[in-house]
Structures are given as structure tokens and as C-alpha cells.
Amino acid sequence: MTLPDYADKEPARDEVNALPGATLLEFGAPWCGICRGMQPALATALKAFPGLRHLKVEDGPGHPLGRSFGIKLWPTLVLLKDGQEQERLVRPRDLASIAQALERLQTATA
């Protein structure tokens, strides 16, 4: 499974808040070594959730979406249900923690 590149244009917070169902919002940067290092575990975890919406958003100065979520460290995974934050993982590195969080999100939206 190949994960998407960072979005060319980040969605507005109002758009994110209006997303129905489960969404994984990934904040990071393409040059971030920790972000790149997490990608294999994230890709493996996402295989079990093929219908999950995954938005990969580049964060940093001039990127208001990350500021609106209070993102401080990369990568940060924000798990949303109907646009509302359910959980976040800051700098997750292992498959188990990511998979368990995705499972909790799917259970919450079922």
C-alpha cells in the first residue's frame, strides 16, 4: 500500500469539521525523518481499514489547519468522527499503537 503524498492544498477547518464518518488526519512534513520513518507502520495499519478517509496534511508556518488543532510535534495523527477529534497519537512509531487507535475509531463510528 502506498500512502498519499502531502496534500497540495490543506482543507479549511470548517471542511474538516463537516467530514462525515471516520477520518485520519495526518500532520507532518515531507522532509521530516520521523514522519518518513512512521510511514511503513501506518501503511500496514491502514490495510485493515480500506474505507477509512486519510488526509495527509503538511504542517508548519503558514499552515492554519495544524495551528487550529494545536499541533506541536510531527507526525501527529488526529482521529476524527464526524469532524470531531476522538483521539490523537503524537509521534507514533509502532504498528500496534496505530492499529489499536484505528480500531477504536472504527468501533466508535460503527
pLDDT (tens digit per residue) in 58-98:
999 989 999 999 999 999 999 999 999 999 999 998 999 99
The pLDDT of residue 2: 61
The answer as to whether 21 is a domain residue is yes
Question: What confidence tens digit (pLDDT) does each residue in 16-50 have?
Answer: 999 999 999 999 999 999 999 999 999 999 999 99
Give a yes or no: residue 92 inside a domain. yes
Instruction: Report, as an integer, the average pLDDT of 7-13.
Output: 91
- Beta carbons of 108 and 86 less than 8 angstroms apart: yes
Number of domains composing the chain: 1
Whether 30 maps to a domain, the answer reads yes
Residue ranges making up the domain that contains 74: 13-109
**What would the grid cell of residue 87 be?**
483521539
Q: Other CB atoms closer than 10 Å to residue 23's CB: what's the count?
A: 22
- In the three-class reduction of DSSP (H, G, I as helix; E, B as strand; rest coil), residue 71 is classed as coil
For position 68, which CATH number holds? 3.40.30.10
* 8 located within any domain: no
